[in-house]
Amino acid sequence: MGVKDLWGVLSPVCEKKSLWELEGTSIAIDLSAWICDSNSICSPQINMYLRNLFFRTSYLLLLGVKPVFVLEGEAPELKVDAIRKRLQARGADKPVKETDVTKACSRRRLKGLQKQCVELLSYMGIECLTARGEAEALCAHLNANGVVTGVITQDSDAFLYGAKEVYRNFQLAPHYTCDAYRAEVIQKKLNLSRTKLIGFSILSGSDYNEGVNKLGKATIVKFLSSLQDKQVFQKFLEWRNGCYFDRVADNKFVTSDMRLECSIRDKALKDDGFPYLEVIAEFTADPERPSFHYKWSKPNLPRFVAFAVKKLAWEDEYAAKKFLPVLGRWHLMNGGHPCDFSIVSIVGNGQGKNANKYRVAWDQYDLVTAEPKEMVAQCYSHLVEAFEESRNKKRKPKATGTGRGRKKKAVEPSEPPSSDNQTTLTQILVKQLPEAPPEPESMTNEFNDLEFDDHVFPNHLIDSSEPAFRMNELKQSSSTRESEHRKVNDRLGHEISIDLTDSDDESSKILHKSSNFLRNDAAPAERVKMDLNTTSNFNNFEFDDPIFSKHKMINLLSDPINDVDKVKTSSTNESEHNKANGRLEHDISIDLTES
């Protein structure tokens, strides 16, 4: 358990850490924590603690981590009293037998499970340490002295023993993560040093004391945050020995911090054992300094297979396949030391997080593993040379085309169309209205950059590559007559207005001018104005008999004429409206009637 409610207090500074970040480090592992954690899982697998121990240890070894397993020793005397109280609480009115207390303190069952774990680890080539008392205490001392990088345990009192970094909730698939807590971050963000954490255990409770009744963790943290480290234990002694607080409690001018302290003191003094100086001495005692040097011995394949068949009920072949990667890594780490099998070929390069590894094939069980490139090159240089040579031969020369992933050639900008390729509106009209009209042929070209002839419509250019979506409504007034407006394309509201009237001349002159305009052999019409702010598709419009004796359906822009309808003639005294059957249903209305 460790310290009551401490993990909840430390949860804001918990960091989810990938196991890949532990690569190349050395970690002290509280073996009893893994045993208890595995036994709490309901699974059909027998001896689940052995199975989890093997796979977790294998993963750490293949990750390059040096695991240092620590076993529980004899329970401290302080823990005997705590165990007696727990048994008394469970038995209610029944008296507690000393034999039961002794049995619980001897950790007989736990030691039996630890013995099996030690046997399994020995077959994997790993030695274990045995603590004098608590395993997490020795782990913390190793971490504090810099022997290991961190500690794996479920007991939060590791920080009280001096641990600097603690990992818990160790998980493999599917996330391969653990929860990391750092003492430096705890002190910086929560203002809880090691001394204050010991004070927290005195007030909240731990494996060695019950704690103060009816005192919550938030209240304890608030109180400890208001103190300096040197004041924590001093306050506890003052509460028991001084009567100063009795006078302060009745003072109405006392501060809120002082009032909080008085409230905690009153509750703490109800416990006869407070302030538990022996507990403080346990956490602050001189650490163990065992003579330890990490060494990974050669794994024993035959003994492990026999052990797995007996204790885990695995098949021989399955056990060997699971164990060979561990043996193979030891083989490479020890300079290719002779073992039961070897690498026969390099299959390829690793991917993702294994990018710095080769995928190698071994000579037994068709096994393929990912091994560090440096180790493989050191032990099997001839295989690496052969693999790299064959890999270079397979590489194809770079293609010069513009395939996927290759840069395309820059396209040179095309020159603007010359004036020879441009056709004026007058030329089109004359061409489309011969005296003896033949049957119209299908037109397939698009008239791009169509412009008006300077003699008729100066400074007007039509770009037929864009559809006519917007044509402004044109309005033109005459001195004596109103300009005639007709709408083109009712749906979009386009309108073209052509005014060929003359206020001073007779109607015959007007008609004469109109005819000359189409024949292109007379002076330009003085009052012909046509404004095309946007381009349009003029599809299939027709003219009236009195002005144009010959009829032709005209497609001026964009789409080719696939079918030309016959022109219908209407009365000469009414305004003529002929609708074009185009894609946008444009209408052109030309009113040449005499007023």
pLDDT tens readout for residues 61-88: 999 999 999 999 888 888 877 777 766 7
Q: What's the pLDDT score for residue 496?
A: 44
Burial of residue 414 (number of CB atoms within 10 Å: 0-12, 13-18, 19+): exposed
Of the spans 42-51, 75-84, 345-354, 557-566, which averages the highest pLDDT?
345-354
φ, ψ of residue 26 in degrees (nearest 5): -115, 135
Of the spans 264-268, 488-492, 557-561, which averages the highest pLDDT?
264-268
pLDDT tens readout for residues 466-487: 444 444 444 444 444 444 444 4
459, two tokens: 């400074």
pLDDT value at 572 more than 70: no
Alpha-carbon separation of residue 448 from 111, 422, 464, 466, 535 (angstroms): 94, 8, 5, 9, 11
Higher-pLDDT residue of 196 and 572 is 196
- Any idea which architecture 6-72+107-284 has in CATH? 3-Layer(aba) Sandwich (3.40)
pLDDT value at 39 more than 80: no
Separation of alpha carbons 13 and 189, rounded Å: 8
pLDDT tens readout for residues 422-439: 444 445 444 444 455 555
Higher-pLDDT residue of 170 and 444 is 170
160, two tokens: 């009280």
Tell me the pLDDT band of 404, cut-offs 50, 70 and 90: low
Q: What's the pLDDT score for residue 591?
A: 52
Q: What is the mean pLDDT of the chain?
A: 74
Residues 6+ apart with CB under 8 A from 496: 471, 474, 486, 488, 530, 532, 588, 589
Q: What's the pLDDT score for residue 279?
A: 94
Q: Mean pLDDT across the stretch 263-277?
A: 90
How many residues are listed for the chain in this entry? 595
pLDDT tens readout for residues 522-561: 444 444 444 444 444 444 444 444 444 444 444 444 444 4
pLDDT tens readout for residues 302-318: 999 999 999 999 999 99
Separation of alpha carbons 211 and 381, rounded Å: 63
Within 10 Å of residue 280's Cβ, how many Cβ atoms?
20
- Domain span(s) for CATH 3.40.50.1010 in the chain: 6-72+107-284
Residues 6+ apart with CB under 8 A from 408: 402
| Closest to 371 in 3D by CA, of 382, 361, 383 | 361
Question: Which stretch of 39-53, 199-213, 388-402 has the lowest confidence by average pLDDT?
Answer: 388-402
3-class DSSP string for 235-272: HHHHHHHCCHHHHHHCCCCCCHHHHHHHHHHHHHCCCC
